[in-house]
Structure 1
Amino acid sequence: MITVIALCGLGVEKVVSNEIRKLSGNYRVLESGFGRVRFETDIPGIYRALMALRCADRLLLEMGLFPAADFDALFEGVKAIPWEAWIPAGMGIRVAKVRSNRSKLQGITTIQAMTHKAAADRLCEKYRQARLDETGFQAELRVYVEKDQVSVLLDLSGEPLFKRGYRTEGGAAPLRETTAASLLLLANWRRKFPLYDPFCGSGTIAIEAALYAWDAAPGLGRRFTLSDLIPADAKTEAAVREELLGKVNFERTIRIYGSDSDVRSVSIAKSNIQRAYELAQGKSPGAGIRPEIRLPWLPEFRTVPMKAARLPEGLTGERGFIITNPPYGKRLGEVAEAETIYREMSDMGKQFPLWKLAVITDHPGFESHFGRKADSCRELTNGALDSYFYEYTAL
């Protein structure tokens, strides 16, 4: 069993833990909190987690966990790690991130340099070379020091896992794909319920909902750094990919809708959903804006301002979900403009009676402008942005 850390946004650790427990294969969740979930699995399990987890931003291998109150202990601890079991000859290393909290070891640059030297010394000794080749691909390391306990981690993802491959054209203030997936699961949305996003932008929430409804693993169309490391197993990777492709089902009826006042954003959303559909089939999609196609299992996107949003045809009397990421004052314009939009959102209950509303925003005063206290509010992070997730059981 191999110990792996799944990094995720603050506030969604429980969602990621549940995702891991539901994966088919050999998994054991050890602990979670502070934006990470620590679990054990095997090589097939790592491949499956890389491809199938919807809400994790990155997977890291726990190479070493040891106490170190000074730099000598740090050096010896890092050098004792069997780097040659994972990093092949000819590959360089880079210490990409260091954090130290409540520990005697301080000085990020010094920790970074000491970790690099210790790992490089071991690899050079094992491969009988004078120095590492740092001109090509470099394995990415991270070091976290907490209460004098050092955790040394090796990246297995490469590009962050929120880069699914379908969003080649970015809209303004995009929501991370992993954050969008987290909102769906936190709101307890299920494919049998209709879903509407009146601020769809480039379509991320609706597209993540479609992937979930299709049982399509979000990482089917991309590669991972694990494939460049020594334990990589091309046959296992291919078998896991085939297994996950076999679960994709486009024949279910889905009722997923998005709209936006911006014509270009809607055009981007229509192109992005086509790419997501191709990725879910195991194809390699291209970039660029595409002519719209209509298929019964694709979400529908329209150019409509939020104030003109209406219940989609055939849904009268049904309960559904509005899950949305309205404009942020700090990122798209003046705060006052965003607050005006929040006030206007209170009228949606007339068009979507009894629908559940779930909103993510960085504005801590959303409730006062919307005019109602939320039934629940969680603090989340969307990348580096601290946000709030407000849920209303019924409009």
Structure 2
Amino acid sequence: MTKKQVTLIATAAMGLEAVVANEVRALGYSEVNVENGRVTFSADVSAIPRCNLWLRTADRVKLLIGQFKATSFDELFENTKALPWEEFIPEDGEFPVIGKSVKSQLYSVPDCQSIVKKAIVDRMKNKYGIASWLEESGAFYRVEVALLKDVATLTIDTSGVGLHKRGYRIGQGDAPLKETLAAALIKLTNWKPNYPFVDPFCGSGTIPIEAALIGQNIAPGFNREFASENWGIVPVNLWDKAHEEAEDLANYDQPLDITGSDIDHRMVEIANNNAIEAGLGDLVSWKQMQVRDFNHKRDNGYIIGNPPYGERLGDKKEVEKMYKDLGHALQNYPSWSVYILTSNENFEALYGLKATKKRKLFNGFIKTDYYQYFGKRV
């Protein structure tokens, strides 16, 4: 059961599709199609381990099995059954079916899931010559049927747990930033590892830790497992090669000047523990500090932060003061570039300066703006 050329979908949070597409291209896959929420590309099957290990800003990597129009359950069943499932799933494979439906005539997701499941079972029993039931005692293949405007897209998830789960976060605060979004915030700047990097609202340390991983070119998936590691279509030697490549490309000797600070000493301790878990204990400096006390000896640094938004009424005044303090402290650092993610629409007025550029992003379900201030180079 081997299949060399596959079509993959790297799913992306809204607003980050172009960032994910750039990462896919950087891995050498040039035939890239960018749509809302996803980046589709064709590649050799070796792309499954490589993309899972290396994509910093994608949510998942899915294997596309087929796509077709379906306005009736008969159409959904017959078109699903016509797909070559046996080329991907072995006869003992475990394959639960999940689903979603948006603006489609087939709106009952449970019905769609059960029909897709039955169609795959019928196909596989026929192809494998099985008269009774399928055991489903082997490797895990999570199938998804996604209906959008009456077009059904059938995929198998290669990642397992979402790619934001790097494996290093052993502690977190109340509203942790997803690792994938943290990496994207850095990717949306032109920071290079020879510049100082500061997150003055570090919380559990996600942004500085992701910066250290980027700075030393460490694959974000180095410390975790993936569903497709047990698949027959992805031989073990391809996973071994992908891990060897990640080890060879890591630049552990790259010096870094990365600092994470927070007003809460408990969060500073959690951030430090997370960095140690990531194997980056010596690479990031952590300190308890208020933003108004920001100081740095070097020119041309970068501040990237996800401060509290003041969504809760009681926090609003405190947060607004924090934004003012930040703007006041950074008046003395005109050569530094500043990037702040917040949902607070008055940020520019509070900070005291209009952003050079703004980008709309979502932090979970919260609409935010990424305020970008480009430093004056000296």
**Pairwise same-fold verdict (TM > 0.5):** yes
Question: Given the alignment, which residue of 34, 38, 41 partners 2:40?
Answer: 38
Task: Give 1:229-268 correspondences, 5 Å limit.
Answer: 229-268=231-270
SS in 2 for 1:109: helix
Distance 2:332 2:267 in 1: 23
Task: Give 1:170-189 correspondences, 5 Å limit.
Answer: 170-189=172-191
* Structure 1 residue 124 displacement after superposition: 3.4
| Aligned equivalent of 1:110 | 111
* Structure 1 residue 44 displacement after superposition: 1.3
Task: Give 1:175-324 correspondences, 5 Å limit.
Answer: 175-277=177-279, 295=282, 298-311=283-296, 314-315=297-298, 318-324=299-305
The worse-fitting range, judged by mean Cα deviation, of 147-156 and 58-67 is: 147-156
What is the alpha-carbon root mean square deviation over aligned residues? 2.1
Distance 1:332 1:254 in 2: 39
Task: Give 1:33-72 correspondences, 5 Å limit.
Answer: 33-72=35-74
Distance 1:165 1:22 in 2: 24
| Aligned equivalent of 2:316 | 335
SS in 1 for 2:32: strand
User: Normalization by structure 2: what TM-score?
Assistant: 0.91
CA contact (8 A) 1:100 1:108 kept: no
| Aligned equivalent of 2:26 | 22
Distance 1:253 1:339 in 2: 35
Distance 1:71 1:247, change over 3 A: same
CA contact (8 A) 1:7 1:35 kept: yes
Distance 1:333 1:87 in 2: 53
Distance 1:60 1:368, change over 3 A: same
Match of 1:118, as an amino acid?
Answer: A
Distance 1:135 1:45 in 2: 26
* Structure 1 residue 183 displacement after superposition: 0.5
Question: Given the alignment, which residue of 364, 367, 375 partners 1:386?
Answer: 367
Distance 1:223 1:105 in 2: 35
User: Normalization by structure 1: what TM-score?
Assistant: 0.88
Question: Given the alignment, which residue of 76, 82, 89 partners 1:74?
Answer: 76
CA contact (8 A) 2:6 2:44 kept: yes
Task: Give 1:83-102 correspondences, 5 Å limit.
Answer: 83-101=85-103
Distance 1:129 1:87, change over 3 A: farther
CA contact (8 A) 2:99 2:110 kept: no
CA contact (8 A) 2:140 2:227 kept: no
| Aligned equivalent of 2:161 | 159
Distance 1:300 1:129, change over 3 A: farther
| Runs of 4 or more consecutive aligned structure 1 residues displaced over 6 Å after TM superposition | 134-137
Identity in percent = 38
CA contact (8 A) 1:93 1:120 kept: no
Q: Which runs of 5+ in 1 are unaligned?
A: 279-292
Distance 1:171 1:147 in 2: 39
CA contact (8 A) 2:101 2:108 kept: no
Deviations 1:341-395 (A, max 9, x none): 2222211213433211101122233223323321111111233333221111239
Match of 1:56, as an amino acid?
Answer: A
Matched positions, count? 371
* Structure 1 residue 81 displacement after superposition: 1.6
Q: Which runs of 5+ in 2 are unaligned?
A: none
Match of 1:167, as an amino acid?
Answer: R
* Structure 1 residue 230 displacement after superposition: 2.5
